[in-house]
Amino acid sequence: MPLRLYNSLSRQLEPFTPRDPSRVTFYSCGPTVYDDAHVGNFRSFLAADVLRRWIESPLCDLQNDPAKSTGRKVVHVMNITDVGHMTDDAEGGENGEDRMAVAGKRLLEAKKSGKLPAGTDTNLDPTNPYTIAEFYASRFLEDARRLGLKVALDAQSDPTLMPRPTQCIPQMIAMIQSLISKGHAYAVGPAGRQVVYYDVQSFPAYGRLSGNTLDNLRSGAGGRISDENQGQKKHPADFLLWKADPSHIMKWDSPWGAGYPGWHIECSVMAAMRLADDLGEIDLHSGGEDNVFPHHECEIAQTCGHTGRELFARTWFHPRHLFIEGAKMSKSKGNFYTARDLFAKGIEPAAIRLELIRTHYRTNANFTMQGVTDSQRMVERWRRISAVAGTSTNAAAAPRLDDSPVLREFAQAMNEDLNIAGALGVLNSWAGTITQPTASDAAILAAIDRVLGVLALEVPKATATEIGVYLGGLSPDPTVEAKLAERKAARAAKDFKRSDELRDELLALGYQLKDVAGGKVEISRKP
């Protein structure tokens, strides 16, 4: 059964049929870089990554696919938003404070109190929005690569795969001009200080993606659209394309005056620049569920207004939000983790990645420490298979879908709207039956892991001392070493009472021990 995906645009499961399977075009709304990305951000990016990997996998089956034998390629583009949008976007992106400026203040505070994140270039200038953006962008890329986000890895050799709005201002201006000339946008205000709005009433399909048609918006505005700042708009739902504002922290020259672009236009432009085909369409577009409205609705209005076509992205993919320990994540509650927070706790990238991808993308996954531990164990089990099998001398034939029930069932699950939990069930049942892994087992696992992307990730290094082996990136510690030495002596003297006390003491300090062959002790963090 070929791959079927839930398309938010049609609100149903449909066969995924790219225009050219040998070159599938996929645009993902990426991070904004005025802070570190958290696990919620990464869940949606990784969901897109798994989808991309699945389409590229030879295990995946597509309807009407002439590229099946020659291989499919996904051109995946993810932007990095380095323009600071407004903190108060309730009126369409014109009010409040620029987020990049807010980030600058935060960094300045941190710098004063000596609390800049470890490894920060001390020359970082918190008053310069471009350096702030660069600072967080490089941290994002670092995290993303550790988590195996393929687009971030690809972008190392082809940076155009991760475009930045600040580099695309001329193209945005051109699209805005096109929209004005086609009657989809209008400028208001005195020359040189103009504001350009999209005219939603010029685009009848507005609301098709989100259900927020102009009628629904009118009746359900809920009082959030005030009269203030609406005066110049033709319709309350008209949204900002350009705002001339010479006092703004980041600004560029434009026909309407020096200022900044609206926050929807960048994605329309960047998707078109790198991906659009001769019809101005792309195959796939993803973003967190909160992007459905207004962001993606507005992107469609912009792109289709510009191209005159009915479609922008043929399939819209919207992963749902992540909860943390059962609660909705929110910055004010502080119940969120950045990827870096977790790395710092010694949790390895593979466990984080698996925990973030193992729940179906269209349900609200719940991120828990218990879940991370579960994922870690799964990873370790799979690793044992590939490690043992890797040293086997059996000839490793490339696994063929038709010869392997595991691969077939795995593919069947994945083809059904990326049923990854079902697919993991298949994988684990199979893994559980393997006592003596062979090279062909390893090949099967490798084929699966090219989709899951967990086994290829870096494994924290172990550091060995005379007595102990420190796992999970732990560094040898004098206190621990002393207790280990004493414990070793106690055990040699068969003073097990003392040796157990020492083990308890270490446990209280957060270290878990495991006696291994050769008299050494493995030390890992208590989960």
Partner RNA sequence: GGCCGCGUACCAAAGUGGUUGAAUGGAGCGGAUUGCAAAUCCGCUGAGCGUAAGCUCCUCGCCGGUUCGAAUCCGGCCGCGGCCUCCA
Closest approach, Cβ 359 to RNA, in A, equals: 5
DSSP assigned state of 114: T
Segments of 36-122 assigned E as strands: 74-78, 86-88, 95-98
Closest approach, Cβ 252 to RNA, in A, equals: 20
Going residue by residue from 380 to 399, which x/- string records binding to RNA, judged by CB under 7 A? xx------------------
- Of the candidate spans 131-139, 163-171, 400-408, 430-438, the one that interacts with RNA by CB under 7 A turns out to be 430-438
- Of the candidate spans 55-63, 159-167, 251-259, 427-435, the one that interacts with RNA by CB under 7 A turns out to be 427-435
Q: Which of residues 316-375 bind RNA (CB under 7 A)?
A: 319-322, 328-329, 359-360, 362-366, 370-371, 373-374
C-alpha distances in Å from residue 334, one per residue of 223, 324, 337:
29, 10, 8
Instruction: Residue 20: name the closest of 77, 78, 75, 79 by CA.
Output: 75
- Of the candidate spans 55-63, 126-134, 160-168, 499-507, the one that interacts with RNA by CB under 7 A turns out to be 499-507
Q: How far apart are CA 431 and CA 427, in angstroms?
A: 6
Q: Which of residues 23-62 bind RNA (CB under 7 A)?
A: 29, 31-32, 40-41, 43-44
**Which residue in the set 18, 129, 165, 236 belongs to the binding site for RNA (CB under 7 A)?**
236
Q: How far apart are CA 222 and CA 236, in angstroms?
A: 12
Instruction: Residue 99: name the closest of 145, 32, 144, 177 by CA.
Output: 32
Q: Is 68 in the site for RNA (CB under 7 A)?
A: no
Closest approach, Cβ 278 to RNA, in A, equals: 29
Asked whether the beta carbons of 213 and 301 are under 8 A apart, the reply is no
145 burial level (CB within 10 Å; 0-12, 13-18, 19+):
middle
Residue given tokens 């960047």 in the structure block: 270
**Which residue in the set 59, 424, 445, 467 belongs to the binding site for RNA (CB under 7 A)?**
424
The smaller minimum CB distance to RNA, of residues 72 and 82, is found at 82
The smaller minimum CB distance to RNA, of residues 52 and 85, is found at 85
What is the sign, positive or negative, of the torsion defined by CA atoms of 21, 22, 25, 31?
A: positive
Residues listed for the chain:
527
Q: Is 409 in the site for RNA (CB under 7 A)?
A: no
The smaller minimum CB distance to RNA, of residues 44 and 440, is found at 44
Q: Is 221 in the site for RNA (CB under 7 A)?
A: yes
Q: Is 226 in the site for RNA (CB under 7 A)?
A: no
The one-letter code for the residue type at 132 is: I
Instruction: Residue 268: name the closest of 176, 177, 204, 336 by CA.
Output: 176
Q: Is 292 in the site for RNA (CB under 7 A)?
A: yes
Bridge partners of residue 243, in order along the sequence: 195, 260
The smaller minimum CB distance to RNA, of residues 67 and 412, is found at 412
**How wide is the angle at C-alpha 285 spanned by C-alphas 94 and 242, nearest 5°?**
20
Q: Which of residues 502-521 bind RNA (CB under 7 A)?
A: 503, 512-516
**Which residue in the set 14, 36, 61, 89 belongs to the binding site for RNA (CB under 7 A)?**
89
**Which residue in the set 1, 2, 10, 11 belongs to the binding site for RNA (CB under 7 A)?**
11
The site for RNA, by CB under 7 A, has a size of 84
Q: Is 419 in the site for RNA (CB under 7 A)?
A: yes
**Which residue in the set 114, 224, 278, 475 belongs to the binding site for RNA (CB under 7 A)?**
224
Closest approach, Cβ 326 to RNA, in A, equals: 7
Q: Is 468 in the site for RNA (CB under 7 A)?
A: no
Q: Is 92 in the site for RNA (CB under 7 A)?
A: yes
248: Cβ–Cβ under 8 A, 6 or more apart, which residues? 98, 259, 260
The structure tokens listed for 439 are 């090279």
- Of the candidate spans 167-175, 233-241, 274-282, 440-448, the one that interacts with RNA by CB under 7 A turns out to be 233-241
The smaller minimum CB distance to RNA, of residues 21 and 93, is found at 93
Q: How far apart are CA 61 and CA 403, in angstroms?
A: 16
Segments of 351-437 assigned E as strands: 366-367
Residue 84 burial (CB count, 10 A): 25
**Which residue in the set 135, 140, 186, 239 belongs to the binding site for RNA (CB under 7 A)?**
239
The structure tokens listed for 178 are 């096109």
Q: From its phi and psi, is residue 119 left (phi > 0), alpha (psi between -120 and 50) or beta? A: left
**Which residue in the set 122, 157, 219, 391 belongs to the binding site for RNA (CB under 7 A)?**
219
**Which residue in the set 1, 2, 66, 90 belongs to the binding site for RNA (CB under 7 A)?**
90
Segments of 79-119 assigned E as strands: 86-88, 95-98
The smaller minimum CB distance to RNA, of residues 145 and 321, is found at 321
